[in-house]
């Protein structure tokens, strides 16, 4: 549509000013909501051809379009901006075209498809997934779907942080105080059991650090001086040297955690095409670092530790291998990036990681570039904000995190309670109720998190998210179910859609507003893909659902006396439901057929 309008405007200005005006000077955008109009032409670039004021130039172009093209019904000029109203007949023609599409995601393919890896989740095997992981997983999975429908080859990846001092903390605590406890004997998910021992380690470490703090040491130095921390570091060295007992315990406890993770991922509705493990990729990272040292790209200190000097790029010096030969987190990221490039030849690799790691990814890209890997330009840090509860921040060390499993179940329970309070689903079979409660609860959780600009910090309010009114997932789901009910009743009454009859109807203003929103769907999806923002799709779905509900409240659909009007409104309703379903699908949200 935008291109057709630009073409008409280009013809107009060339005709008015008798000049071969470049196409890129025709700048058209949607009219701001506080002005009257559908599209706005920025007039300023055309003044050197019109040799006139912005107001007069805009007026001349608007008048020409109004007199020569039925696409325009009215116009107004505000300073250097020409606001154009599109005619109802043209909106109807656009609607007819959209109605014939079999799939509302059809035709969204990009002209330059890319191979894109999306890394999300990245859990540590010393604790269960929590609310922060939920935002991470939901963003990553949604990005996968959005980038896929726009024609890219997208691979969902996960890097499991299954080695390092944090893993040894849980292992050491279990060795000391576990008494052979297992997930079965404790009746706990494996990730919860291991997380319990991580918290126990931290509590005991805090006690041991107190005498060192009393001497004036800072917190980090006191923690590192505690005997328990020294034992954990010794265990890490044993693990890296392949000590059979330590490696055996590591495999056992990680196995417990993976079983727990898989259950949580299944509940959340996310998955992966390829899972990498830090315990494997760090080895490649070490090889890459040692090779770069030989080439004098890196340097070695007197204690034999290996570093990258990035000061010429306004970054710091970065440790890559410790003096004892053990790897740091950056080492495995170097290895993982190179392995992925070898396996997939990606154009882009998107890391869905919180904004506290902004500097880390600047350094990662800089080191790879320094090593000669020019494909590192395709590394993108999708930096998202932290998520908190109304009570404040969560702390893993203190065991105050919001467990993902508990939160998911709590949302489903809330959906059940609220549905019964509102008198919904009372006549449904229990199996169907359970499925609908699950869809509503997860829809509320996912939508509330994804509707927020991912780059912003957010506060997740469970009570607010489950509301059936306002900008929530259940409101959009209920709107969809309402439309599906209307369509089903129409079919039961023998009503069938006929797109060929749409031209015989003169749409009302509410219907035109719905058509305008339906037309925007593709633009929103494309913008969401280019800006990596699922929030654009989420808020578009809410706007469409809200507009449809206003239309539904004001106008009859099945009971209208005019058969042509009934047909038109059925088509309008169907398209709205299909777009809501497609939009929410890209957010990973299931839509109940009835509620």
Whole-number Å distance between alpha carbons of 568 and 369: 58
Domains and CATH numbers, the chain: 2-86 (3.30.1360.70), 120-388 (3.40.50.620), 404-586 (1.10.730.10)
In which band, very low, low, confident or very high, does the pLDDT at 399 lie, cut at 50, 70 and 90?
A: very low
**Residue 132: both structure tokens together:** 């922060």
pLDDT digits (tens, 9 = 90+) for 123-141: 999 999 999 999 999 999 9
What is the end-to-end Cα distance of the chain in Å, rounded? Answer: 36
* pLDDT over 70, % of the chain: 98
Q: Token match 């780059």: residue?
A: 455
SS3 assignment, position 387: strand
pLDDT(50) > 60: yes
Mean pLDDT of the chain: 93
Whole-number Å distance between alpha carbons of 377 and 587: 28
Whole-number Å distance between alpha carbons of 265 and 188: 17
User: Which DSSP state fits 161?
Assistant: B
Whole-number Å distance between alpha carbons of 205 and 74: 73
**Cβ–Cβ under 8 Å, residues 239 and 247:** yes
**Cβ–Cβ under 8 Å, residues 114 and 130:** no
Alpha-carbon distance values, 314 to 124, 317, 361, 385, 532 (Å): 31, 10, 14, 24, 27
**Cβ–Cβ under 8 Å, residues 194 and 371:** no
In which band, very low, low, confident or very high, does the pLDDT at 396 lie, cut at 50, 70 and 90?
A: very low
pLDDT(428) > 90: no
pLDDT(1) > 90: no
pLDDT(397) > 60: no
Based on DSSP, count helices (H) and strands (E) in the chain, helices before strands: 21, 14
* pLDDT over 90, % of the chain: 81
pLDDT(553) > 90: yes
The pLDDT of residue 392 is 53
**Cβ–Cβ under 8 Å, residues 344 and 155:** yes
Whole-number Å distance between alpha carbons of 118 and 57: 48
Whole-number Å distance between alpha carbons of 70 and 467: 44
- Cβ contacts of residue 593 below 8 Å, gap of 6+? 481, 484
Mean pLDDT confidence for 221-227: 95
**Cβ–Cβ under 8 Å, residues 254 and 162:** yes
In which band, very low, low, confident or very high, does the pLDDT at 394 lie, cut at 50, 70 and 90?
A: very low
In which band, very low, low, confident or very high, does the pLDDT at 47 lie, cut at 50, 70 and 90?
A: very high
**Cβ–Cβ under 8 Å, residues 118 and 156:** yes
The pLDDT of residue 400 is 52
**Cβ–Cβ under 8 Å, residues 171 and 243:** no
3-state helix vs strand vs coil in the chain, percent to 5: 60, 10, 30
SS3 assignment, position 226: coil
**Cβ–Cβ under 8 Å, residues 288 and 334:** yes
The pLDDT of residue 552 is 94
In which band, very low, low, confident or very high, does the pLDDT at 421 lie, cut at 50, 70 and 90?
A: confident
Whole-number Å distance between alpha carbons of 587 and 265: 15
The pLDDT of residue 420 is 81
Mean pLDDT confidence for 228-246: 94
Model-level pTM? Answer: 0.91
Question: Which helix (H) or strand (E) element contains residue 541?
Answer: helix 534-554
Side-chain-facing half-sphere of 172: CA atoms under 13 Å: 24
The pLDDT of residue 258 is 97
């Amino acid at each position: 549509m935008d291109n057709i309008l630009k073409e008409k405007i280009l013809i107009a200005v060339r005709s008015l000013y008798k000049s071969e005006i470049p196409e890129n000077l025709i700048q058209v955008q949607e009219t701001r909501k506080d002005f009257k109009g559908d599209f706005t032409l920025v007039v300023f670039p055309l003044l050197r051809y019109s040799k006139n004021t912005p107001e007069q130039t805009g007026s001349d172009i608007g008048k020409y379009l109004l007199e020569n093209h039925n696409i325009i019904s009215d116009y107004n000029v505000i300073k250097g901006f020409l606001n154009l109203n599109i005619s109802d007949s043209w909106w109807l023609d656009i609607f007819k075209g959209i109605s014939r599409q079999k799939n509302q995601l059809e035709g969204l393919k990009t002209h330059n498809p890319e191979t894109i890896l999306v890394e999300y989740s990245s859990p540590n095997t010393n604790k269960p997934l929590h609310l922060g992981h939920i935002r991470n997983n939901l963003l990553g999975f949604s990005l996968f779907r959005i980038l896929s429908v726009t024609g890219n080859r997208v691979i969902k990846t996960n890097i499991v942080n299954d080695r390092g001092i944090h893993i040894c903390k849980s292992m050491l605590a279990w060795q000391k105080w576990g008494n052979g406890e297992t997930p079965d004997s404790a009746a706990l998910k494996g990730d919860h059991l291991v997380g319990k021992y991580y918290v126990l380690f931290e509590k005991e470490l805090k006690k041991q650090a107190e005498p060192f703090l009393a001497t004036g040491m800072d917190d980090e130095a006191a923690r590192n001086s505690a005997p328990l921390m020294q034992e954990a570091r010794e265990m890490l060295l044993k693990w890296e040297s392949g000590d059979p007992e330590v490696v055996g315990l590591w495999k056992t406890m990680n196995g417990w955690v993976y079983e727990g993770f898989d259950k949580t991922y299944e509940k959340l509705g996310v998955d992966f095409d390829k899972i990498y493990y830090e315990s494997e990729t760090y080895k490649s990272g070490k090889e890459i670092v040692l090779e770069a040292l030989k080439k004098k790209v890196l340097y070695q200190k007197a204690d034999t530790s290996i570093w990258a000097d990035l000061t010429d790029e306004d970054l710091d010096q970065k440790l890559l291998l410790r003096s004892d030969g053990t790897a740091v987190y950056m080492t495995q990221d170097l290895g993982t990036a190179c392995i992925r490039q070898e396996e997939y030849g990606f154009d882009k690799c998107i890391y869905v990681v919180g904004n506290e790691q902004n500097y880390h990814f600047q350094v990662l890209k800089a080191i790879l570039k320094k090593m000669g890997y020019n494909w590192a330009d395709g590394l993108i840090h999708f930096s998202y904000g932290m998520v908190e509860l109304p009570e404040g921040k969560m702390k893993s060390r203190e065991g105050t995190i919001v467990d993902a499993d508990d939160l998911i179940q709590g949302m489903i329970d809330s959906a059940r309670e609220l549905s019964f309070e509102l008198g919904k689903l009372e006549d449904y079979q229990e199996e169907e109720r359970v499925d609908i409660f699950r869809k509503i609860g997860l829809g509320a959780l996912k939508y509330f998190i994804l509707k927020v600009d991912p780059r912003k910090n957010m506060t997740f309010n469970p009570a607010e998210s489950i509301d059936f009114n306002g900008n929530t997932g259940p409101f959009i789901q209920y709107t969809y179910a309402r439309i599906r009910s209307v369509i089903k009743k129409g079919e039961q009454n023998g009503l069938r859609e006929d797109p060929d009859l749409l031209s015989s109807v003169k749409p009302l203003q509410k219907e035109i507003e719905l058509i305008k929103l339906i037309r925007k769907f593709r633009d929103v999806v494309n913008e969401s893909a280019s800006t990596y923002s699922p929030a654009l799709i989420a808020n578009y779905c809410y706007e469409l659902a809200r507009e449809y509900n206003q239309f539904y409240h004001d106008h009859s659909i099945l009971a209208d006396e005019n058969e042509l009007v009934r047909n038109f409104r059925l088509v309008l309703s169907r398209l709205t439901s299909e777009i809501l379903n497609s939009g929410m699908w890209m957010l990973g949200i299931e839509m109940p057929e009835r509620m």
